[in-house]
Structure formats: C-alpha cells, structure tokens
A = this chain, B = another copy of it.
Amino acid sequence: MSISAKQIILDNPPTGKVEYDLSSPESTFKVVTKELSESQLGPKQVLVKTLYLSNDPTQRGWIQKDQDPAKAYVPPVLKGDIVKSLGVGKVIAAGSESKYEAGDFVSGFMGWTEYGIIEETAIFTKIDTTKKLPLFYYLTIFGMTSLTAWIGLHEIAEIKETDTVLVSAASGATGSIVVQLAKKIFNCKKVVGISSSEEKCKYVESIGADVCLNYNDEDFAKKLAAASGETGYSVYWDNVGGATLDLALLNLALKGRVVACGAIAAYNDSSLSQINNWFCVITKRLTVKGFIVGDHAAKYGEAINTLTTGLMSGKISVKEGVDFTVVDCQGDKFDQVPKTWGKLFSSKPNGKLVTLVSEN
C-alpha cells in the first residue's frame, strides 16, 4: 500500500509577517507531495488520514524562526517540517506494537497534511464513535479550550464542592467552559464570573454563574469584594493577568488557589502585566499554579468522558463561546489550509475555526 499525500511544510520560518499564499515566492509554506506506506511505520507509530484540523493562534509561536528546541515553550516546527496542528483523523495503519488499529478515529497532534505518520504519543484520545457526536466536536467542545478548563479545575485547582470560584474572561472560549464545569459538573458552592459588558455578563449568568461582574462598571472592585462572601474566593481562574489578577489576589481566601491559565492583558503591552499585590501570596498562603494542558494528556480521556456526559445530559451548552465555522479545504482546496488559519489574525471569525480536510 502506498499513498500519495499532499503536505504543507514550513519553508521560510517567519520572524515577523507570515505569507499565507503558497503561490508567492515569499511564501512561509510550501506544498510537497510525499509517498507514504505502511512499511515506513515504526512499532509505535500510526499512519493517520487527516479529517479535520484545528486553527489556533498558538501555532504562530511554533513556527517562529531560530527557536532553541531545548528552551522552547513547546517543541518548535523547524524548516522542512510539516506544519504542526491539532486535528482529528482516522487510523489507516498502525505499527506492530501500537495500541491503535486501522479504523480508529483519534484526536491529537497532527499536521497540515492529507496523511501523516505520527508517534502514538501524539494521540490524545481514541474517539468513542458510539456517542455519534460530530467528529469536529473533538476540536471544539472536546478541544483544547475545554480540556484546559477540565484539567485546570480537576488537576490544578483540585476543585471541591465547597469552593467559591472566581473566573476572569468568563464569556470566552475557556472561561465559559470553566463556569459551566465549576457550577454544573463540580457543583461548586458559588461561581462568580468577570466579563467586559452587561450583555456578556448576562450570557455568563445564563450558562451557570451565580453572578457575573462587568469590569467596566465603576463599582467593579466593590462588587467583586462583596461577591466573595465572608472568607474570600477559594479559587481564582486567571485568564487575563494584570489588574484583574491584582484585584483577585486582594479578594482571595486564606490558602486560596490561583490557576494561572492565561495573561491576555499583557499580550500586546507587557507593562499591563504588572502585579502589585504579590505580598498576598505570602500573607494569605496562596498557591499559584501555571499549567499547560499538553502536560496532562494522560487525563484527556477522563476529561472528554466528563464533557461528553455533561453535553449529552444538557448540563453543558455548546451554543455560544464555543461556536464553530468549518472551512472546506478538501482535495484541490488543500492549499487553502494556511490562508484558513490566517483568518484567525485577520477577519477573526467567532468561535472555533475548523478546517475540513476530508469527510471520512
């Protein structure tokens, strides 16, 4: 068996602007065709047919030029490598010692390629197709942001029913799942969201928050303190850093836990990341844990089970904040894969942008 696969490789690792157009001589990427066969498989490798690709802003970091692989945030994509991407695929063939077999549907680290040979450690989960959920759900409701929410609450915060949880960016992709999981699945005593408008706050309350506070409200600081109750918030889920984190530190309970998930306040201006209330970490005996969901792949199965059950029982909603757009890049349209990803940085579609590479 030999398969001819179109692949998009990193040809000119960028330092600044990315050129998405493959026909440009300056293109960051290049399409190549590669012959793949089962005989190339190592004992714990699998040959996967790509069905759907995830589009994530973080991929920009992976392709940055001149990264030191020993010190990089995640292993970088080097010149000549297939561009790495999260995806959903179908196992076509598996190595002699693999735990997967032909016909399995899987999600994990894949790439911008019609077919790819990957290590089985790159696979997060084997999809339970008996649930008959759309396969691209494994890049949306069961994707990185939802896994991040579950891992952060379950593994990092070690969330309990007695917790009073404060969540920033509560209407966002991760925050909205954190709110739902904390309130409806982990049954936390109280969940308080923070968002940027009355309208978003209404949405956050509609999905389960006991109350959501608008940080543009002039009484925000006072309301945040009041909502913390007598002892303060026992858990703060931080998506934003900066001034919101600072205020949260002041309102945390003794021995409170901070889940450090994001610091969007500083992405474009590092001066906004300043923390002034660090002393609270000591006086309140706080524990602050930064985490990367990718370190917890062994728990993805458990996370997806919880999310599936929550979704099927109606406790978790996928209507907003985790909405999706599927862009068809099948067959001749495969060279649109880079431009589709590039939409994240230009037209910024709502919800999750999913690339369809093959329907089955």
Chain A residues near B (Cβ < 8 Å): 70, 73, 230, 241, 245, 260-263, 266, 270-271, 273-292, 295
Contacts and interface: CB of A to CB of B under 8 A. Distances in A.
A281 B70 CA distance: 18
Q: Copies per complex?
A: 2
A260 B258 CA distance: 14
A276 B278 contact: no
B285 A287 contact: no
Contacts of A286: 288-290
Nearest to A288: B288
20 contacts: A70-B230, A241-B278, A241-B279, A260-B278, A260-B282, A263-B278, A266-B278, A271-B276, A273-B275, A280-B290, A283-B292, A284-B290, A285-B289, A285-B291, A285-B292, A286-B288, A286-B290, A287-B289, A288-B288, A288-B289
Contacts of A275: 273-275, 278
Contact of A295 (B266, B270, B285): B285
Contacts of A278: 241, 245, 260, 263, 266, 273, 275
A275 B277 CA distance: 9
Contact of A266 (B73, B279, B288): B279
A46 to B, nearest CB: 28
A276 B276 contact: no
A284 B72 CA distance: 10
Nearest to A241: B278
Nearest to A281: B290
A273 B274 CA distance: 9
Contacts of A266: 278-279
Best-buried of A245, A263, A282, A295 by chain B (most CB within 10 Å): A282
A245 B279 CA distance: 12
Contacts of A295: 285
A291 B141 CA distance: 37
Nearest to A263: B279
A57 to B, nearest CB: 14
Contacts of A285: 289-292, 295
